[in-house]
Structure 1
Amino acid sequence: MTAPTSLIGMVSDTQYGTLVVDALEHIPDLLHPQSVFVYAQMRRDPRLTAILDGYGLQLRRAQWQLDGTGCRPEVTQLVSDSLGLNIAGQDAGTGAKLRGVSWNDHLRAALLSMVWGHYAFEMAVDPDTGRLAALAERPPVTLAAIHADLRSGDLLGVDQLLTDSRDEAPQLAANRLVFYSRNREGTAWQGNSLLRAAFGPWLIKREMVKVSGIANRRWAAGVPVAEALAGTNPSPEQMAAAQRVASAARAGDQAGLAMPPGFILKIIGLSGSVPDTLAFVRFLNQEMAASVLMPHLDLGTGESGSRALGTAFIDSWTLALEAEAEAIADTITRQCVARLVDWNWGDKELCPSVVVSGVGSRREVTAESLQQLISSGALDADPALKAWLRREWRLPAPDPDERQPLPAGPPARVPARPGTEEEEARTEEESPGGGDGVRVAAAAPPANVDVQAMDDAWQQTVADMTAAWEQQSGPLVTALAAAVAAAAAGGAPTGLTGVAIPGVATAPLLRLVADGMLGLARQSAVQAAAEVASIRRIRATLSPQTQARIRAMAAAVTDLIVAGYRTAAVRVALGHLGANATVEQIRDAVTAALTDLSTAKAAGLVAGNLSTAATSAQGIGRQQVLADLPDGITWAASEVLDRNTCGPCRRVDDREYASFGDALADYPMVFRYRNCLGGLRCRGFIYPVIPDGGEPTLF
């Protein structure tokens, strides 16, 4: 059997030559190019504007990237620079450009294809660099004709209308164009507008709005009527005079009139039943929303429909959004990216593709989600997964100047410090070290490490934050007690699980935690800089990345404490449900419990989390300074601040490390030994062993 090598059939036989004609469109006003002006009117309708923005804004805020899988790096980089798109798997963006293509601006214009069904762009390439120099808009209103091949249906080009008669209308060939055609059928490259199905409801709605406006102007205030009194027979002149008085009647603070003798004035309103025009307009709005899979716009505004259906409606609409986004990505890949690669390297070169993710969704960073990412080890996974998590969850980029810990290797077997016989017996079973440590004689840190100053700063910060929390937690206690009491008023516990806390009640608490952590981190950085001054002079100013890291951690700690408040409030409310307690009794009981929870203590929900936050802030500030020290320095561990030293901490005390990376393997945040049985309560730390006679090096 011989394979076919040519086409003998055709896509359409209704065209005039190569001109595109939609023979199945039965409304003359919607035939191209007349449809351009009709859709331009429709897009101004308030409901249709909301629909277009509902699609467009969701697609514009999605993550558009360039997938260079299987392509050479230089090919992917050229396309990325040309389109202004980030490369998938890389955190670094393309940066702003004075000239060339802006992807955000191009996407905004490309999404106008949802209005008219099509939208064209003309490409131009910089001959010196081979990059895309321009993607110039060619709006539908400028297109006189669209040409397509009858047999294959491929686009041949477009003709433009120019108002300047001195120039000939240009014929733009298809290989110069990026032509977005929405839901194209055959040779109908004019596409199908997102608004096409709403044309009927929109047309009728426009007339109904006019009718409603006229009716309100005509009948809203009633009609003045001059009525002759019974038993009178007014002359034509008297009737004319009464007509003039009635016509001149106006409302106002000082308004009034005098009727001719024998007449009285009445204000007659509309009587009888009339069609409910506004209800009909609402029905037409619902039809327009349903035509684009957006019935959720009307949830809660009509007599029927439940908000419980919102998720099902949103799911189907999200699928429509994804289909629109993938069509945009496919068009720009085939008509622009592939040609750009072909012009530079030939048609045998693999080309990257434009991809889109996160359409219609947004991952909220909460304390619970952040805790799950940390505890699962996702943030310490391979670099590609870590970069993907940062992009998907909108997490801050890592500090490029911050020294990262080395990957963990197999635990090193380190001889234990002299201890109890029981500890010596367990040494072979427990190997807490993570780096190449060597035990040295137990000794206090050298004099340049001001341990007392470190402890005093930590103690003062924790005390200040717990005291400030007690003073500023009143709005949180009041709001949470009222919300829980109201949710429990019905006697059923189901409403307690969805208790919401207003942001205004937690904002001051977040601010005090962030300020306390930043202040301690700055003190820690200054102390560390003074500690290593004989090796290198390092500025102790916190970098913007370090500050952002601390603020993110402060938000997580605040959310954890607030979540504990919510749990405590719900627990108290549950204890009163079976006792027929009133709303006031439940509120008072919850208020008393939360007020006691807020009281400054040495331990507990508030003090425990704030102590952990202080240790983390102290370690982050110290880490920024120590990471700038040169290689070749020996490091040592100290558990002198750990008041409840466990077995693993006693064995790691005074251990030396050959490099900063080895030390970080055991102390990932400079503070807190990773194998401490006390977990987050550990206050061990590492310090550089500074040789005598060290000369300072200017930084």
Structure 2
Amino acid sequence: MAAPTTETGYAEESTWWGLAETEETPELQWPRNVQVYDRMRRQDAQVISVLRAVMLPIRRTTWRIDANGARPEVAARVAEDLGLPLVGSDEPYRPRRSRDRFSWPDHLRLALLMLPFGHSFFEQVYRIDDTGHARLRKLAWRPQRTLSRIDVASDGGLLAIEQHGITGKTTPRIGVDRLVAYVNEREGGNWLGQSLLRPAYKYWILKDRMLRVQAQAVDRNGLGVPVYTASEPPEGLDPTKREKREQDEMDAGLKIAQGFRSGNSAGAAIPNGAKLALLGVEGTLPDASKPISYYDEQIARAVLAHFLNLGSETGSWALGSTFADFFTLSLQTVALQVADVATQHIVEDLVDLNWGVDEPAPKIVFDEIGSRHPATAEAIRALVECGALTVDDKLEEHVRATYGLPDADADTAREYKPTTGTEKERP
């Protein structure tokens, strides 16, 4: 039986995923959802905390270039273009100039926007150096709000993206051969991905409404509602005049009540017998803080960030540390996805352009997130005594810098002679 080389079925029946969007909530259908997720990440403190908890550790960890069997020349050139250190080298690459050069930290920051929006696209831009080699100049970010169309093949592969046209110019269309696409939880031909904030949307909208109700309740009932009670009219007054007098006083009293404000110069003048009272709500106002806290907890749960709810949802720091460990594993998965996409569509494209498709390519790797342990004096002593760590100048410099100790002075240095329990120290 011959090995199949073509596909019979399909992953997407439409060449444009926007026509086959299955989102049931109207405001979360693309492209309207871009504005919704943008408001969520800019306006809500809990959403901002959740996103920073996910994104900052990934940005903070050290990223490197692993030769992965590639020639030293190739690995060094890729590391130089990306501005990343090579595995086995402690010193990061420092270009003589930063202008007109690719910035990995900035690219990583924008790539991680696939988490709130579901996708983040970049266009490859190169420059040709004096030797004729293509050097990575930039990966130009194509903001989510500028996208107008995403073309997808029947097998689910990406074909191209289009952006909204600028006045007087044609609609930009960027083919897949020039794209670097980061997509969160892509399924089939859905190159829009799924936002990390999608499960948190209903809690965010309910929390927003609850905050507005809470603010209105405090504003309307904090000092009470001014109520004006008219005075009794004189006896024996003509009915027509009596009615007119009552109406005039009620109109004047309504203006006083509506214009009443607190302050150092606040006050009101009313006729004899009239009353102006500040009446509060009878009974107790509904407590909005509990549902607001509940909504915050659910927003954190959407990204496995349970430890952000310490003191409310979780019961102890011990349980919180367990949640944090599980959360760290989820960050590792996101970072692995970024490294995989960047290796395939940045590193390998760069190698293909300069050395051909048969040339072994290096890969992008990163230090394990959350793997750093505090270098206490006791831990360093134990490592040295068991032979796992060798004392050298770099270690001494690190220890001095960590504990804020002065630099070593060779002129006044003294030889250290440890004492035993049987020896007596001399003054």
Equivalent in the alignment of 2:47: 48
- Aligned residue identity for 1:139: P
> Matches of 1:248 and 1:131 in 2, distance apart?
69
Deviations 1:506-546 (A, max 9, x none): x9xx66xx45x745x2446xxxxxxxxxxxxxxxxxxxxxx
Q: Indicate if the aligned counterparts of 2:103 and 2:138 stay in contact, CA closer than 8 A.
A: no
How far does residue 678 in structure 1 lie from its aligned partner after superposition? 7.6
> Matches of 1:135 and 1:89 in 2, distance apart?
27
Task: Show the 5 A alignment for 1:394-405.
Answer: none
1:142 matched to 2:124? The reply is: no
> Matches of 1:312 and 1:101 in 2, distance apart?
38
Across the aligned residues of Structure 1 and Structure 2, the Cα RMSD in angstroms comes to 2.8
Task: Show the 5 A alignment for 1:384-423.
Answer: none
- Aligned residue identity for 1:127: I
Task: Show the 5 A alignment for 1:462-611.
Answer: 514-515=405-406, 518-519=408-409, 521-523=410-412
How far does residue 93 in structure 1 lie from its aligned partner after superposition? 1.3
> Matches of 2:248 and 2:233 in 1, distance apart?
18
Equivalent in the alignment of 1:641: none
1:161 matched to 2:164? The reply is: yes
> Matches of 1:245 and 1:137 in 2, distance apart?
58
1:311 matched to 2:313? The reply is: no
Decide which moves more: 96-105 or 327-336.
96-105
Equivalent in the alignment of 2:186: 184
How far does residue 343 in structure 1 lie from its aligned partner after superposition? 1.2
Sort the Cα spacing of 1:396 and 1:26 in 2 relative to 1 into closer, same or farther, 3 A.
Answer: farther
- Aligned residue identity for 2:247: P
> Matches of 2:70 and 2:359 in 1, distance apart?
8
Q: Indicate if the aligned counterparts of 2:226 and 2:277 stay in contact, CA closer than 8 A.
A: yes
User: Which secondary structure state, in structure 1, belongs to the residue aligned with residue 141 of structure 2?
Assistant: strand
TM-score normalised per structure 1: 0.54
How far does residue 308 in structure 1 lie from its aligned partner after superposition? 2.6
How far does residue 267 in structure 1 lie from its aligned partner after superposition? 0.8
User: Which secondary structure state, in structure 2, belongs to the residue aligned with residue 126 of structure 1?
Assistant: strand
Sort the Cα spacing of 1:248 and 1:116 in 2 relative to 1 into closer, same or farther, 3 A.
Answer: closer
> Matches of 2:255 and 2:162 in 1, distance apart?
62
> Matches of 2:10 and 2:195 in 1, distance apart?
25
Deviations 1:57-88 (A, max 9, x none): 11111121111131110111111011111111
> Matches of 2:396 and 2:183 in 1, distance apart?
36
User: Which secondary structure state, in structure 2, belongs to the residue aligned with residue 312 of structure 1?
Assistant: helix
Equivalent in the alignment of 2:348: 338
> Matches of 1:397 and 1:172 in 2, distance apart?
49
> Matches of 2:16 and 2:268 in 1, distance apart?
73
Deviations 1:559-606 (A, max 9, x none): xxxxxxxxxxxxxxxxxxxxxxxxxxxxxxxxxxxxxxxxxxxxxxxx
- Aligned residue identity for 2:299: M
Equivalent in the alignment of 1:364: 374
- Aligned residue identity for 2:158: L
Equivalent in the alignment of 2:292: 281
For residue 271 of structure 1, the aligned residue among 276, 282, 292 is: 282
Deviations 1:145-170 (A, max 9, x none): 1112112x1111111113x3221112
> Matches of 1:396 and 1:317 in 2, distance apart?
34
How far does residue 231 in structure 1 lie from its aligned partner after superposition? 9.7
> Matches of 2:397 and 2:419 in 1, distance apart?
31
1:65 matched to 2:67? The reply is: no
Q: Indicate if the aligned counterparts of 1:181 and 1:191 stay in contact, CA closer than 8 A.
A: yes
User: Which secondary structure state, in structure 1, belongs to the residue aligned with residue 261 of structure 2?
Assistant: coil
> Matches of 1:189 and 1:249 in 2, distance apart?
57
- Aligned residue identity for 2:387: G
Sort the Cα spacing of 1:255 and 1:140 in 2 relative to 1 into closer, same or farther, 3 A.
Answer: closer
Q: Indicate if the aligned counterparts of 2:12 and 2:153 stay in contact, CA closer than 8 A.
A: no
> Matches of 2:221 and 2:230 in 1, distance apart?
23
> Matches of 1:257 and 1:93 in 2, distance apart?
72
Sort the Cα spacing of 1:193 and 1:360 in 2 relative to 1 into closer, same or farther, 3 A.
Answer: farther
How far does residue 21 in structure 1 lie from its aligned partner after superposition? 4.5
Sort the Cα spacing of 1:20 and 1:253 in 2 relative to 1 into closer, same or farther, 3 A.
Answer: closer
- Aligned residue identity for 1:3: A
> Matches of 1:28 and 1:250 in 2, distance apart?
42
Equivalent in the alignment of 2:74: 75
Q: Indicate if the aligned counterparts of 1:12 and 1:150 stay in contact, CA closer than 8 A.
A: yes
Deviations 1:461-513 (A, max 9, x none): xxxxxxxxxxxxxxxxxxxxxxxxxxxxxxxxxxxxxxxxxxxxxx9xx66xx
Sort the Cα spacing of 1:365 and 1:175 in 2 relative to 1 into closer, same or farther, 3 A.
Answer: same
> Matches of 2:101 and 2:342 in 1, distance apart?
16
> Matches of 1:396 and 1:212 in 2, distance apart?
55
Q: Indicate if the aligned counterparts of 2:332 and 2:368 stay in contact, CA closer than 8 A.
A: no
Say which one has the larger Rg.
1
What runs of 5+ residues in structure 1 fail to find an aligned partner? 399-506, 525-613, 617-671, 682-699
Equivalent in the alignment of 2:199: 197
How far does residue 397 in structure 1 lie from its aligned partner after superposition? 8.0
For residue 365 of structure 2, the aligned residue among 331, 336, 355 is: 355
Equivalent in the alignment of 1:624: none
How far does residue 296 in structure 1 lie from its aligned partner after superposition? 1.2
Q: Which has the higher helix share?
A: 1
For residue 268 of structure 2, the aligned residue among 253, 257, 263 is: 257
Sort the Cα spacing of 1:327 and 1:252 in 2 relative to 1 into closer, same or farther, 3 A.
Answer: same
> Matches of 2:259 and 2:5 in 1, distance apart?
85
Sort the Cα spacing of 1:305 and 1:369 in 2 relative to 1 into closer, same or farther, 3 A.
Answer: same
TM-score normalised per structure 2: 0.87
User: Which secondary structure state, in structure 1, belongs to the residue aligned with residue 137 of structure 2?
Assistant: strand
Equivalent in the alignment of 1:172: 174
Tell me: higher relative CO, structure 1 or 2? Use CA pairs within 8 A at least 6 residues apart.
Answer: 2
Q: Indicate if the aligned counterparts of 1:18 and 1:150 stay in contact, CA closer than 8 A.
A: no
> Matches of 2:355 and 2:306 in 1, distance apart?
48
- Aligned residue identity for 2:36: V
Q: Indicate if the aligned counterparts of 1:241 and 1:260 stay in contact, CA closer than 8 A.
A: no
Sort the Cα spacing of 1:397 and 1:350 in 2 relative to 1 into closer, same or farther, 3 A.
Answer: farther
Equivalent in the alignment of 1:106: 107
Sort the Cα spacing of 1:238 and 1:186 in 2 relative to 1 into closer, same or farther, 3 A.
Answer: same
User: Which secondary structure state, in structure 2, belongs to the residue aligned with residue 379 of structure 1?
Assistant: coil
Q: Indicate if the aligned counterparts of 2:101 and 2:138 stay in contact, CA closer than 8 A.
A: yes
> Matches of 1:72 and 1:262 in 2, distance apart?
99
> Matches of 2:199 and 2:386 in 1, distance apart?
48
How far does residue 23 in structure 1 lie from its aligned partner after superposition? 3.3
User: Which secondary structure state, in structure 2, belongs to the residue aligned with residue 137 of structure 1?
Assistant: strand
User: Which secondary structure state, in structure 2, belongs to the residue aligned with residue 235 of structure 1?
Assistant: helix
Equivalent in the alignment of 1:238: 249
Deviations 1:310-333 (A, max 9, x none): 111111111111111111001101
> Matches of 2:396 and 2:345 in 1, distance apart?
34
User: Which secondary structure state, in structure 2, belongs to the residue aligned with residue 334 of structure 1?
Assistant: helix
Deviations 1:656-696 (A, max 9, x none): xxxxxxxxxxxxxxxx8xxx9989x9xxxxxxxxxxxxxxx
How far does residue 181 in structure 1 lie from its aligned partner after superposition? 0.6
Q: Indicate if the aligned counterparts of 2:121 and 2:143 stay in contact, CA closer than 8 A.
A: yes
> Matches of 1:170 and 1:159 in 2, distance apart?
6
How far does residue 396 in structure 1 lie from its aligned partner after superposition? 6.0
What runs of 5+ residues in structure 2 fail to find an aligned partner? 235-241
User: Which secondary structure state, in structure 1, belongs to the residue aligned with residue 366 of structure 2?
Assistant: strand
How far does residue 137 in structure 1 lie from its aligned partner after superposition? 1.1
Equivalent in the alignment of 1:26: 24
Q: Indicate if the aligned counterparts of 2:16 and 2:149 stay in contact, CA closer than 8 A.
A: no
Equivalent in the alignment of 1:377: 387
Deviations 1:13-47 (A, max 9, x none): 2x2x3445453311122222222111111111111
Q: Indicate if the aligned counterparts of 2:67 and 2:86 stay in contact, CA closer than 8 A.
A: yes
- Aligned residue identity for 1:252: G
